[in-house]
Amino acid sequence: MPHWLADLLIVVLKGVLVAFGLLTTFAYMTLVERRLLARMQIRLGPNRVGPMGLLQPLADAIKSIFKEDLRITMADQLVYTLAPIVAIACALTAFGGLPAGPPNSFFGANPWVYDLDVGILALLAITSMGVYGIFLGGWASGSKYPLLGGLRSSAQMISYELGMGLSILGLLMLVGSTSFRAITGWQTQHGWLVLFQLLGFVTFFVSSFAETNRTPFDLPEAEQELVAGYLTEYSAIKWALFQMAEYVNMITASAVMSTLFFGGYRGPGFLNALIPGISEWPFIWLFLKIAVFLFIFIWVRATLPRLRYDQLMRFGWKLLFPLALANTLVTAFYLAYLKGFGLWPLGVLGLIGVALLFVASDRVRGLWNTPGKRLQDPTAASRAGGD
């Protein structure tokens, strides 16, 4: 067998295994989320299908596959059908570039699907293509509510992608490479980047909620306003593909944050004294970190209410974007003038930046209740008129 053909078959096999793993994780993430939300809201959650409800994802899959697939008369049939495929394809492709273990492990020289020198840039490019699936699905449905949901999603993702890109620019300047392996190696030598790019991590973390359309940024699906947003006219397997894309994007965002700011597939080095080489075990550490972030995604959904659309856009443009830009400028200033003092100034500046973020968000939240002029208390106005 030619060498190139063998390499191609290995990449295809890895891709199939990654897709299978992500879709299986998506299925059981729905169960985990429903159980955790039920526990947080003092309910039982799904517990009838199988022991402890473990077969509920299988029942949901069977229902989605065999449910009637409605044919929308006013829809553009080709685009209407391709939109969910575009969404899930971009979601699955993006995850393949993240390293899950060191090179030359028992998974081969490259234990992930593909390894690019421009890893983070390629990932951001692929994930930004996912908005086309949502927008085209909303436009092709031939209904006003899906169209409004698609427009909201496009504006939201474009707005928060700017803050997301700027939030990691300081990290890339510090490391000097866009490769995931180089970023992971830098953290092995100097420590997790969250210690030196705390403000960048916080802005990236918030932007991830907006990029994945999760609460409190789930405006494209706002049921109370838009029925179901871009999903209104979808049913059966097409609807399930959009749900898959949302959860896979959530898993990918968790993996990216784990890789960029928390050491990726490498575990704490001090554990090597207990079990030699445990910090280099592939998959284990990355999966644990992903699980922590997925729990936070669910926790936030159970805790925070949905923002209004004007609040969402104001938060992105007037708070998140300027702070991400400030983090980039501070990192550039450090590299130009303070590099000789070590990395601790970046940690201090990051703490100050996060404190400013909380203060500024509290100030903005006080103004959110008034899209235009500050509303007066109607009882006070009536009392004033009576006087």
Q: What is the pLDDT of residue 117?
A: 79
Q: What is the pLDDT of residue 293?
A: 93
Q: Mean pLDDT of successive 10-residue segments in the chain (387 residues)?
A: 75 82 86 88 83 85 81 80 87 84 60 76 86 83 79 80 88 88 86 87 89 78 65 81 87 91 83 77 85 92 81 84 88 82 74 74 54 46 44
Count the neighbouring beta carbons within 10 Å of the beta carbon of residue 278: 15
Q: What is the pLDDT of residue 373?
A: 46
- Using CA atoms, how far apart are residues 190 and 343, in angstroms rounded to an integer? 9
Q: Which of 90, 106, 25, 99 is nearest to 258 (CA)?
A: 99
CA gyration radius for the chain? 23
Q: Do 232 and 143 meet the contact criterion of CB atoms below 8 Å apart? A: yes
pTM, to two decimals? 0.84
Q: What is the pLDDT of residue 284?
A: 85
Kindly state the helix (H) or strand (E) to which residue 246 belongs, with its residue range.
Answer: helix 236-261
Q: What is the pLDDT of residue 149?
A: 77
Q: What is the pLDDT of residue 291?
A: 92
Q: What is the pLDDT of residue 375?
A: 43
Q: What is the pLDDT of residue 245?
A: 87
Q: Do 265 and 101 meet the contact criterion of CB atoms below 8 Å apart? A: yes
